Amino acid sequence: MRNSNESPKKIVVLTSDAGFGHRSASNAIKAALEELPIEKCQVDIINPLEDKRTPFFLRDSQEDYDRIVREMPKLYQLGYEATDDTVATALVEGGATVLLYEVMWDILKKYKPDAIVTTYPLYQAPLTSIFAIERMSVPLITVVTDLVTVHRFWFHKHTDVFVVPTDSVKQLALDYGVDPQKIRLIGIPVHPNIHKEQRTRQQLREVLGWRTDLPTILAVGSKRVEGLVESLNIVNHFGAPLQLVVVAGKDDELYQKLQQIEWHLPTHIYNYVSDMPMLMHAADMLITKAGGLISTEALAAGLPMILIDLIPGQETGNAEYIVHNRAGDLATTPVELLEVLYHWLSNDRQLLHERASYAAQIGKPLAAHEVATLAWQHAQIGPVKRNPMLAALRPKIIDFLTNHKVPWENKE
């Protein structure tokens, strides 16, 4: 516990809105920091890509991400794989430094953080350049937000700590040359509410106004989930006593389409919910895509998954991880979904219960608290002057910034 007269420790969490996962992990870390038994900790979540000085194509890339992965998944996979090598990574990091240097410098000047957590990979290189120029460094913790298939961009060698979600990602980090002492196998942070929910499934269903006596399928969609309506048509005509809950993920078009369907089973349709952990604990299974965020939340809630869609490349590893660990099954066609549902619900739902047990075994509901504790510990160390490793880089970085006309002198 800190002296009440001391100024608050400041922790900055850097994020992006390219997808839901980076922002969600950031929110979870902030919520966990606010629950720690500490005094005077100021936590700010910042998205540098929202700054008006950030080039428009980087700002727009957050919205373009949704469109590209939905409309051109093969192109996205090609780009993802083509940049996952040493040379391409160096080029991208250099570009990020040129484009984001001033924005990142102003963030450091304004917030004066004692520690930085980033849930997005491209901020590490600009920060390293600033640290070298300013002859000081702030403890930097990178939180990886994909379960298995992780881009080389995540592992910048001058970052202090890498929080990884699985043994597979830990091995990737080692393969990319990361110092083993810098790696923490913790998991992807999920909101503390997932762990704190202690009500029974029946109690939650009563609060939500759902039937308490039926096996309940939670289906989560959005503009990124292909084939959801077709999959729900299978559920609608499956024939067994079931209850269906669908969240449209703020996709108004999908929400309207779902409301127009003639449902043959008790159905509850939401456009958006603010308490997904509650719904997950109230359901028996989840139908969705193999996104890092939704998969991690489901595992933390012990909720088995039927994965009906995935982004080739990035999310393939998520699906393989879930299936390999027997926490769910892949069903990308209506026939496959029909087969999975039949097997899960047969024999008094034995396989469903087994899948739920395995999901709970690999779920990490306390990851946000562990990351929060790690960030707080590094905030106690605070900025370090004259980092010898970065001092050696300073002349090269100055030349690089000067050649690309990035102002770095006399920033005060």
Mean pLDDT of 378-398: 84
Does 9-190+366-403 match 198-362 in CATH topology?
yes
Closest listed residue to residue 219, CA positions, set 203, 199, 243, 239 = 243
The predicted pLDDT at position 67 comes to 52
Rounded distance between C-alpha atoms, residue 306 and residue 41, angstroms: 40
Name which of 2-6, 164-168, 189-193, 360-364 the model is least confident about. Answer: 2-6
148 compared with 44, residue with greater pLDDT: 44
In contact, 221 and 70? CB cutoff 8 Å: no
What is the per-residue pLDDT across 278-297, written as a single tens digit (0 to 9) for each? 999 999 999 999 988 899 99
The CA-CA-CA angle for residues 287, 288, 293, to 5°, reads 130
What is the per-residue pLDDT across 97-132, written as a single tens digit (0 to 9) for each? 888 889 999 999 999 999 999 999 989 999 999 999
Rounded distance between C-alpha atoms, residue 97 and residue 113, angstroms: 20
Residue 234, token pair as written in the block: 């299978």
- HEC states along 108-159? HHHHCCCEEEECCHHHHHHHHHHHHHHCEECCEEEECCCCCCCCHHHCCCCC
Rounded distance between C-alpha atoms, residue 330 and residue 337, angstroms: 8
Residue 182, token pair as written in the block: 């810098």
Q: How many CB atoms lie within 10 A of CB 335?
A: 10
The CA-CA-CA angle for residues 35, 19, 352, to 5°, reads 75
Please give the biggest Cα pair distance in the chain: 73
The partner residues of 244 in beta bridges, in order of sequence, read: 217, 267
What is the per-residue pLDDT across 391-401, written as a single tens digit (0 to 9) for each? 788 888 888 88
Specify the residue for token string 């039937």.
Answer: 211
Specify the residue for token string 């001058």.
Answer: 158
| Residues in CB range of 241: below 8 A, 6 or more apart | 214, 215, 265
DSSP for residue 227: T
| Residues in CB range of 348: below 8 A, 6 or more apart | none
The predicted pLDDT at position 124 comes to 93
CA 102 → CA 48, 51, 106, 271, 402, distances in Å? Answer: 10, 10, 6, 39, 13
Q: What is the three-class DSSP state of 161?
A: strand
**Domain 198-362 bears CATH identifier 1.20.1250.20:** no
Rounded distance between C-alpha atoms, residue 336 and residue 80, angstroms: 28
The predicted pLDDT at position 3 comes to 43
Mean pLDDT of 343-348: 96
Binned at pLDDT 50, 70 and 90, residue 78 comes out as very low
CA 167 → CA 64, 75, 92, 184, 187, distances in Å? Answer: 31, 29, 26, 10, 10
The predicted pLDDT at position 57 comes to 63
In contact, 219 and 258? CB cutoff 8 Å: no
What is the per-residue pLDDT across 298-320, written as a single tens digit (0 to 9) for each? 999 999 999 999 877 678 889 99
Closest listed residue to residue 171, CA positions, set 365, 317, 364 = 317
Burial environment of residue 51 by CB neighbours within 10 A (0 to 12, 13 to 18, 19 or more): middle
Q: Mind giving me the DSSP string for 91-105?
A: HHHHHHHHHHHHHHH
What is the per-residue pLDDT across 214-239, written as a single tens digit (0 to 9) for each? 999 999 987 667 788 999 999 999 99
Tell me the fold of 9-190+366-403. Answer: Rossmann fold (3.40.50)
Domain boundaries, the chain: 9-190+366-403, 198-362
Rounded distance between C-alpha atoms, residue 354 and residue 84, angstroms: 37
In contact, 355 and 327? CB cutoff 8 Å: yes
